[in-house]
Amino acid sequence: MKHKILVFSVALAAVFNIYAARSFIENSSPTYDEPLHIAAGHAYWKTGKYRINIKDHPPLAEMAAALPLLFFKLDAFETSRLYSDNDQYNWADLFIYQNAAGAEKIVNTARLFSYFLWTTLMAFFIFLFAKELVSAEAGLLSALVFLLMPVFISNNALVATDSAAAGLYLAAFLFALLFARHYKGGVKEKKAWLYLGLCALASASAMASKFSMAVLPGFILLMWLIEFAVTNRAAELKKLLLPALIYLAGTFAALAVIYGFTQVNLYFEGLAATAARLKTGRPSFINGNHSIYGVWWYFPFAFLIKTPLSVLIFFAAGMVYSLKNGRESHIWLFAPFILYFICAAGSKLQIGVRHILPVMPFCVIFAGTGAQVFLERKYLRPAAVLLILALAFSVANVHPYYLAYFNEAAGGPGNGYKRLVDSNLDWGQDLKTLAGYLKKEGSPPVYLAYFGTAKPQYYGIKYIPFGLYSDVRFQGAVEAPPEGGRVLVAVSATNLQSAYYRNKEFFNWLLKKEPVFKAGYSIFVYDLTQDMEARTKMAGTFRRLSLPAYADSLLKNRFSDE
């Protein structure tokens, strides 16, 4: 009976997950990197060559997302000058907005395929992992938690490389665990060698999805050493030499197949280029602090405020249970989680919780274990039910803007911009919501400080660029300053916090003002019609940009109390 209730609960959560992801997709404009990921994946299929974007990202996740687009007979624009000049973001803009199919159809088809692929694989591997180490009940509870996690609903429903890496990282450790359990040192153990092959394939696929997965083979070998040591099989360590060599050879052979044997050098060139870029650092914002080279507490902080409180409570209970009562094999939960977290702590690229997405499935399994502990104790069962209901309510409360989820301890999504920006909250996804608001207001022109690469005019937004931050060369839909009327300013949260501006106080004069509307928690709209002080500051910015006509329009026009 208990299992039937759990299965029903998981099925209910799956229905909600599908509904939530579809709503998120339909309400989101393309995020900053999605056009490039989609266009690159399609070009790889069509040309058979790994060229544009290949030094920034491996190809597998991008190609997976672009697979259904092959039915649309799209132009890859590989003969355009943008392609030959490696002007990748503007080439991607061309691909998305000037192709045979509409931008919405291209982007959302790729998103839906990615979502179903990675969500299905993750849910399956999470269940198997928890079932193998704890119990079937823990597996079902882990799947339930996974399906209610905003970080997965949002990231799995976007075309990026993070979800593929997270799912394949988990799969590699699952197959490595199963190999260790079945391998006794013989050559006739067919199951063990099957799992070894699957582990190599999962490892290669992870590496071909995200360069951060280059650490995976080393982690796997370390886990086998630990497994043999903690299970009193240290004397058999020499028996690991042959499978370890086969695993490494199989991993790099599979990587070569994915890249194509004549292009596998591109993996190592891309890995070197990525490492070189990361050394230079990148601007990031955290809780009012700006940094170039990062802070050690960025990812722990992001983990704590982007994960629902109910999940954190179950997670803590699961870790305590595993430490006190778990078998030695629970090291397979602790080590992948801790090792990746340690690596992430030293990263200078701190722009989103998505960069620690590979640890989140292990967090979910710990949480599922903790939920089982609660349910097994009669006095804790009411608390378990309340925590699960609180989780569902907390997640549903942010519908359909799941990328903007922050837990109650952080002040909820409405206060997320005070804690973290960029892909934690503001990845350029809320232009559609902004456009809907402006349409209701009569489609007035807006001074736009957008962070992203989606085309504002595609959604009918008439705008004057004001502090835009993008890798795409935008052409404003309004070329002349407006004559009279309202002065509306729309600012993305990342720009509001001046994350990528040299002047970290660029928008400080707006921070204390109350917006008249928030588009999906990430774009703030201010009506400055009656605020001469604010308009004067804007005019000063336009003068510094050598745009005196815009400055004069802000200062000379008479604005009514519309």
pLDDT at residue 424 greater than cutoff 80: yes
pLDDT at residue 158 greater than cutoff 70: yes
What pLDDT does residue 562 have?
Answer: 41
User: Quick check: 212 and 166 in contact, CB under 8 A?
Assistant: no
387-406 pLDDT, tens digit each? 999 999 999 999 999 999 99
- Same domain? For 356 and 449 the reply is no
103-120 pLDDT, tens digit each? 999 999 999 999 999 999
Can you name the residues that pair with 451 across neighbouring β-strands?
469
- Same domain? For 225 and 374 the reply is yes
Over pLDDT 70: what percentage of the chain? 96
What pLDDT does residue 479 have?
Answer: 59
Mean pLDDT of 354-375: 97
Residue 402 maps to a domain: no
47's tokens? 């040309």
pLDDT at residue 558 greater than cutoff 50: no
Mean pLDDT of 271-279: 91
Q: Among 167, 194, 170, which Cα is nearest to 183's?
A: 194
Q: Of 396, 420, 446, which residue sits at a domain end? A: 396
Mean pLDDT of 64-91: 96
What pLDDT does residue 226 have?
Answer: 87
- Same domain? For 29 and 97 the reply is yes
User: Quick check: 62 and 259 in contact, CB under 8 A?
Assistant: no
Q: Of 345, 372, 396, which residue sits at a domain end? A: 396
Residue 419 maps to a domain: no
- Same domain? For 13 and 109 the reply is yes
Mean pLDDT of 484-490: 89
pLDDT band at 233 (very low <50, low <70, confident <90, very high): low
Q: What is the DSSP string of 296-362?
A: TTHHHHHHHHHS-HHHHHHHHHHHHHHHHH--GGGHHHHHHHHHHHHHHHT-S--S-GGGGGGGHHH
- Same domain? For 354 and 248 the reply is yes
CA–CA distance, 402 with 412 (Å, rounded to integer): 12
Residue 410 maps to a domain: no
Overall domain count for the chain: 2
Would you call 488 helix, strand, or coil by DSSP?
strand
What pLDDT does residue 287 have?
Answer: 95
- Same domain? For 111 and 235 the reply is yes
Q: Among 129, 149, 150, 148, which Cα is nearest to 138's?
A: 129
Pairing outcome for strands 289-291 and 446-449: unpaired
- pTM metric for this prediction: 0.95
205-223 pLDDT, tens digit each? 999 999 999 999 999 999 9
14-29 pLDDT, tens digit each? 999 999 999 999 999 9
Q: Among 40, 85, 38, 79, which Cα is nearest to 473's?
A: 85
Residue 287 maps to a domain: no
Three-state SS string over 422-476 comes to HHHCCCCCCHHHHHHHHHHCCCCCEEEECECCCCHHHHCCCEEECCCECCCCCCC
Residue 233 maps to a domain: yes
What pLDDT does residue 235 have?
Answer: 63
- Same domain? For 357 and 441 the reply is no
pLDDT band at 240 (very low <50, low <70, confident <90, very high): confident
pLDDT at residue 561 greater than cutoff 60: no
CA–CA distance, 425 with 404 (Å, rounded to integer): 4
Residue 53 maps to a domain: yes
- Same domain? For 163 and 93 the reply is yes
User: Quick check: 65 and 37 in contact, CB under 8 A?
Assistant: yes
The answer to which of 99-113, 152-166, 322-336, 499-513 has the lowest mean pLDDT is 322-336
Q: Of 347, 381, 396, which residue sits at a domain end? A: 396
- Same domain? For 218 and 361 the reply is yes
Half-sphere exposure of 280 (CA within 13 A, CB side): 5
Residue 409 maps to a domain: no
What pLDDT does residue 475 have?
Answer: 74
Mean pLDDT of 410-423: 97
What pLDDT does residue 232 have?
Answer: 60
pLDDT band at 560 (very low <50, low <70, confident <90, very high): very low
CA–CA distance, 371 with 381 (Å, rounded to integer): 9
The answer to which of 162-171, 460-469, 547-556 has the lowest mean pLDDT is 547-556
Residue 279 maps to a domain: no
- Same domain? For 363 and 434 the reply is no
- Same domain? For 438 and 362 the reply is no
What pLDDT does residue 550 have?
Answer: 87
pLDDT at residue 559 greater than cutoff 60: no
User: The domain containing residue 341 runs over which residues?
Assistant: 2-274+292-396
Mean pLDDT of the chain: 93
Q: Among 87, 100, 109, which Cα is nearest to 34's?
A: 109
- Same domain? For 529 and 478 the reply is yes
